[in-house]
């Protein structure tokens, strides 16, 4: 039987999360430690401790690591509530890229790697990165990977350059994608490696200046300069990086949808309040059809986005990979929610583009959502190919 009802205990937890974010986290949105390069580590740690005190830290993690092992549907409900503020997921340790990295490591890392690289991230003590995208190689097409690894039977040596690497500056757990060259010991091809961010071969060239500022430490340009790693640094099997990346990406792209849905709802609530109270031409602007239709379009979009997310989650909770459905969800939700944010700016009039309300920040931060974890066109390319295959 298909059932859309949210169980009472999950609804209560959702409300508790929303209250926590509104009461404890929203006040930090004007903290100077929320910089042009995202929240600083100091701010993140302060927020994490607030969530820890409320037992709301890393609730999605497997129970074996101290989390509650939430299902995908449960995540959808909780992350939507956390997303009311872009700092909510940072506090609760369910923001990108850590959330997707924890998921991947919980599936692929061996017990020693779990203790060294995953457990401290789950505990909120350190951050992680996923280093795949390159200026002259992997991007929409990860198969173009150009960062190179060699193996002499004892150590790997990695050389190459990456950019747009979220959280690079200050992260300790590094998941690095590089192309392993032909060697007599292991299969060649795209491979994942685990490294400590303090390795001298990891050089952060700079933090990029981007229009978003919701991700801790922003996005880095990174060079691997003869990065030497031991055999134990191999994550999963050699030559399988693209398969593991897919394992990470399907749920990770959905969790982006969940968090941004919460942010878009917040923008809508501010636009609705403005439409009720601001007057023009003798009545509240919300009573002009042009405005009420914008708010109605938002309501329709928010509802459709939630259903699309829930359906993909439901498939995954029933053991499906849901690659196709998560592609549909990611492309649809990112495009629709950005339109919602844009209409909210419009309803607010001139103040919509100012920091008088948080709508401007949501609009700016959300723009990148249409690009990361697969630009809309790349998802449509995959969906189109599947449609044509029949």
Contact residues for ligand FAD, defined by CB under 6 A:
97, 130-133, 139-140, 164-166, 212, 219, 368, 371-372, 375, 377-378, 381
Please say which residue, 136 or 356, places its beta carbon nearer to ligand FAD. Answer: 136
**Min separation Cβ 304 and ligand FAD, Å:** 23
Please say which residue, 288 or 367, places its beta carbon nearer to ligand FAD. Answer: 367
User: For strand 189-196 and strand 173-180, is the pairing parallel, antiparallel, or unpaired?
Assistant: antiparallel
**Min separation Cβ 307 and ligand FAD, Å:** 26
**Min separation Cβ 273 and ligand FAD, Å:** 29
**Min separation Cβ 51 and ligand FAD, Å:** 22
- Determine the angle formed by the axes of helices 72-82 and 8-20, rounding to 10 degrees: 30
CB of 42 closer than 8 Å to CB of 83: no
**Min separation Cβ 197 and ligand FAD, Å:** 13
Question: Residue 231 has what DSSP assignment?
Answer: G
- Check residue 319 and give left, alpha or beta (phi > 0: left; psi -120 to 50: alpha): left
Please say which residue, 132 or 238, places its beta carbon nearer to ligand FAD. Answer: 132
- Buried residues in 9-34 as b, exposed as e (16+ CB within 10 A): ebeebbeebbebbeebbbebeeeeeb
**Min separation Cβ 339 and ligand FAD, Å:** 17
The Cα–Cα gap between 378 and 358 comes to 30
The alpha helices in 199-322, defined as continuous H runs, are: 241-277, 289-317
Please say which residue, 129 or 261, places its beta carbon nearer to ligand FAD. Answer: 129
Q: DSSP secondary structure string, 89-119?
A: HHHTT--TTHHHHHHHHHHH--HHHIIIIIH
Residue, CB closest to ligand FAD: 139
Please say which residue, 76 or 132, places its beta carbon nearer to ligand FAD. Answer: 132
Please say which residue, 252 or 347, places its beta carbon nearer to ligand FAD. Answer: 252
């Amino acid at each position: 039987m298909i059932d859309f009802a949210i169980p009472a205990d999950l609804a209560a937890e959702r409300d508790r999360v929303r209250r926590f974010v509104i009461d404890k986290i929203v006040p930090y949105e004007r903290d100077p430690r929320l910089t042009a390069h995202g929240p600083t580590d100091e701010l993140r740690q302060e927020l994490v401790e607030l969530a820890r005190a409320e037992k709301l830290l890393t609730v999605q993690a497997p129970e074996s690591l101290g989390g509650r092992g939430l299902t995908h549907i449960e995540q959808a409900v909780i992350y939507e509530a956390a997303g009311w503020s872009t700092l909510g997921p940072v506090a609760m340790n369910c923001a990108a890229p850590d959330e997707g990295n924890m998921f991947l490591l919980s599936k692929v890392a061996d017990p020693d790697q779990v203790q060294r690289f995953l457990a401290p991230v789950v505990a909120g003590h350190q951050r992680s990165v996923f280093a795949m995208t390159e200026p002259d190689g992997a991007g929409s097409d990860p198969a173009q990977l150009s960062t190179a690894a060699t193996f002499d039977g004892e150590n790997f040596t990695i050389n190459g350059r990456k950019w747009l690497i979220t959280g690079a500056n200050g992260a300790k757990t590094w998941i690095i994608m590089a192309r392993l060259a032909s060697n007599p010991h292991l299969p060649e091809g795209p491979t994942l490696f685990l490294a400590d961010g303090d390795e001298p071969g990891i050089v952060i060239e700079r933090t990029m200046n981007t229009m978003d500022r919701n991700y801790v430490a922003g996005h880095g340009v990174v060079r691997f300069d003869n990065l030497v790693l031991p055999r134990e640094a191999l994550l999963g099997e050699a030559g399988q990086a693209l398969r593991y990346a897919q394992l990470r990406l399907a749920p990770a792209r959905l969790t982006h949808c969940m968090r941004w849905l919460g942010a878009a709802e917040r923008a809508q609530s501010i636009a609705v309040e403005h439409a009720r109270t601001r007057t023009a031409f003798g009545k509240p602007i919300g009573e002009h059809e042009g405005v009420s239709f914008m708010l109605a379009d938002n309501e329709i979009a928010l509802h459709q986005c939630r259903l699309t997310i829930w359906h993909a989650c439901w498939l995954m909770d029933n053991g499906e990979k849901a690659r196709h459905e998560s592609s549909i969800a990611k492309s649809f939700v990112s495009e629709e929610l950005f339109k919602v944010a844009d209409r909210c700016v419009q309803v607010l009039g001139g103040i919509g583009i100012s920091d008088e309300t948080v709508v401007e920040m949501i609009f700016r931060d959300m723009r990148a959502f249409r690009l990361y974890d697969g630009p809309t066109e790349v998802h449509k390319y995959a969906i189109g190919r599947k449609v044509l295959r029949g």
